[in-house]
Chains A and B, each alone.
Chain A
Amino acid sequence: MKHLQLDNHGELRHFLSIEGLNQPLLTQILDTAESFVHDSGKPIQKYPILRGKTIINLFFENSTRTRTTFDLAATRLSADVINMDIATSATSKGESLLDTIHNLEAMHIDMFVVRHSVSGAAHFIAQHTAPHVSVINAGDGRHAHPTQAMLDMFTIRRYKKDFSQLKVAIVGDILHSRVARSQIQALNTLGVSEVRVIAPKTLLPTKVESLQVTACNNLQQGLEDIDVIIMLRLQKERMSGALLPSEAEYFKCFGLNETTLKYAKPDALVMHPGPINRGVEISSSVADGIQSVILQQVSYGIAVRMALISMLMAKQGVQQ
């Protein structure tokens, strides 16, 4: 995948996955994102660097916050943004994914931000787009959600500084989570001391150890000595698929509340990619508590996406 994402000079051409990107490049993304954030943490209002560029947010799957933050990021860089919400059944009109892409390309656009319900969709689009068009993966199936992972890394770096000392736990549906896969790759690339995944066996992938993580089926054991807790959203369909008995039992075993939060280090950060299910994976008191940085994640998402959009466009002759 490295080949597809990087040009001959090792610079980003597409942003599809964390895999194949090295630590200096991830650090460069984080540093660039810093330049779009005031010391206060508020994003800088407007940069004129992408005037005349057109970005299409091509969403084959519903999203509110990811699409909005991409929209804001591009607008703040002065690009023209078109939002296209294509129900996954767009192909029911007889148009293939590739035809959709080629039609939009014919309208002279510069970048696709793609979300799709099938793993590998962004990769497929990147393989088939014209050379001047960049693709950002805004989430494909269970595969990757690399901008979410980078905004999480940005948040962690802002609060914890040194990755090498950190132990990070990701709690929840690892099996179906593109967010978790990208976070794990980013955390390992940035050199954290340990990544732990905590879930019942039904929500862990078969070869979980190949992700370079420690797997744990028990929240108390899993959170021991942890600096950063990332809670994943639990989808309702996991109950109908016989992966879990009920939300209540899930919360009992894996939910983060004021008691279970104490299993981790006292200064542990609490994170969540959103949208949160209060009382399913996390209690309101913890989600809104002092250790929570959930809303900061959302804010930083804009700066990180501005960084990525501008880095990809730099390749097209735009000065950063």
Chain B
Amino acid sequence: MNIFIKNGRIIDPANNIDRIGNLYISHGKIVSLKETPEDFVADKVIDARHLIVCPGFIELSARLREPGQTQKATIASETKAAAKAGITSLCIPPDTQPIIDTPAVAELIHEKAELAHYPNIYPIAAITKQLQGKELASTYSLKQAGCIAVSQAQQPFGNVLILKRAMEYAASHDLLFIHQPLDYYLSNQGCVHDGKMATCYGLPGIPAIAETIALTQCLELSKETGCRVHFSQLSCARSVKLLKRAKSSGLAVTADVAIHQLHITEAKMPVFDSAYHVIPPFRTDDDQRALSKALANGTIDALCCDHQPHDIDAKLGAFPETEAGISGLESLLPLMLALVNEGTLVLNQGIARLTTDVANIMGLEAGTLSLGASADICIFDANKQWQLNQENWLSRGKNTPFWGQMLQGQVTHTLQTGKIIYEN
């Protein structure tokens, strides 16, 4: 199948491209960004006038709930939502049920992905057996089964010695360790930032030091063990400082921030609204400013939506008893564009943080429009306004604080390995 995308504004941060032009796809690959290749006969022409053509987005943390929690979502439902959101690759944290700690589970996920006609799903292996934080999982075998990194998801390690050994072992096989820094004991089963809201409403709080102490510990261990670490979903200003210092000392560490952290703070949260229950919690305006700045200057390398779809019951209850997380795939692009519109990021940067920068962290051959690259492409209208509501929401999880809001920026086409997987 040959596809001709014409007259779009092509933005490919990896190759420093930002111009109006054409793009030719043949046999699943990008074959030209300039002249029509010889013998190229388009089976499909996409007129991208006034639209932006960029690499498909890569989501660093997408819980698809399958296997194990299909009452919340399935690989089929969430990959459809991803396609609609212009996301062409999904990295899956290991806390499925069963947990991704054996090659069989990784293979099962790959199979389900094939069945859903969405091949670019990348499982992340559990770094310890059953994520119990006690014994090492067979991460080398898991790597062979297609896992692209290792992680403890949101579960604690039994002690720091186990964390150190897990990192040493990961380093031995050159596995990237993805770590959400949050000290289990200091978090103390909290559900909001340990600040004004926790104080005034008597909600158990998670202090910023739960993140910074865990981060400091892991940075020290990274230095000691040589393990490459990617820190996911940072939430504190102080973490940015620690990360910056570590990076300038030459440590091989990277980090991301969840897009909702850049839009909502503790002060903007309605009281006891479980749609706003996230881990790490929404923090202060100062934290948000520091995170935004760090994303713009590259101290924070990537953006994610930390997709966590839930069934209705999971969010129905007194706030501390509800489950944390936001269904985020479909609001990712509009929320990124909102950062561009408010001047936090320039557009090319915003796209880079969702594409090539993510691919570089995860070691994926994706996120660019280079000649010969797999044609994973997102085409979007940056100005189109739409309301987030029942009619246009595909994720099984309706748990988003942005429900009912008008958003700007909508995907018109998504291509994965040269196939149109979404068209609006």
Q: Which residues of A contact B (CB under 8 A)?
A: 1, 19, 96-98, 116, 118-121, 123-124, 140-144, 176, 178, 181, 205-208, 210-211
Contacts and interface: CB of A to CB of B under 8 A. Distances in A.
Nearest to A141: B202
A96 B196 CA distance: 30
A120 B198 contact: no
Nearest to B271: A1
Contacts of B272: 119-120, 123-124
B199 A207 contact: yes
Interface residues of B, number: 21
Nearest to A123: B272
Contacts of B195: 206-207, 210
A118 B202 CA distance: 9
Given A1-B271, A124-B272, A210 B317 contact: no
A124 B199 contact: no
Contact of B196 (A98, A119, A142, A207): A207
B199 A120 contact: no
B287 interface: no
B203 A142 contact: yes
B194 interface: yes
A205 B198 CA distance: 8
B318 A206 contact: no
Contacts of A205: 198-199, 205
B202 A206 contact: no
Contacts of B200: 19, 181, 207, 210-211
Contacts of B321: 118
Contacts of A120: 201, 203, 271-272, 318-320
Given A96-B313, A123-B272, A206-B207, A178 B202 contact: yes
A5 to B, nearest CB: 12
A32 B194 CA distance: 38
26 contacts: A96-B316, A98-B316, A98-B317, A118-B319, A118-B320, A119-B202, A119-B203, A119-B272, A119-B318, A119-B320, A120-B271, A120-B319, A120-B320, A123-B318, A124-B318, A142-B202, A143-B202, A181-B201, A181-B202, A206-B195, A206-B199, A206-B205, A207-B196, A210-B199, A210-B200, A211-B200
The 7 A-B pairs at the shortest CB distance, nearest first, are namely A142-B202, A205-B199, A143-B202, A121-B318, A120-B272, A118-B318, A120-B319
Nearest to A184: B200
Of B201, B204, B316, most buried by chain A (CB within 10 Å of CB) is B201
Contacts of A98: 316-317
A96 B318 CA distance: 11
Interface of B: 194-196, 198-205, 207, 271-272, 313, 316-321
A123 B194 CA distance: 21
A161 B423 CA distance: 71
Given A1-B271, A120-B272, A124-B272, A97 B198 contact: no
A269 to B, nearest CB: 25
Given A120-B203, A123-B318, 12 more contacts: A118-B319, A118-B320, A119-B201, A120-B318, A121-B318, A140-B318, A141-B320, A205-B198, A206-B195, A207-B198, A208-B199, A210-B195
B23 to A, nearest CB: 50
B193 to A, nearest CB: 9
Of B204, B205, B271, most buried by chain A (CB within 10 Å of CB) is B271
A123 B203 CA distance: 13
A176 B204 CA distance: 9
A74 to B, nearest CB: 24
Contacts of A121: 318
A196 to B, nearest CB: 16
Contacts of A140: 318
Contact of A97 (B194, B317, B320): B317
Nearest to B205: A206
Contacts of B320: 118-120, 141
B264 to A, nearest CB: 18
A168 to B, nearest CB: 18
Given A206-B205, A206-B207, A96 B199 contact: no
A199 to B, nearest CB: 13
A119 B205 CA distance: 12
A143 B316 CA distance: 18
A178 B317 CA distance: 19
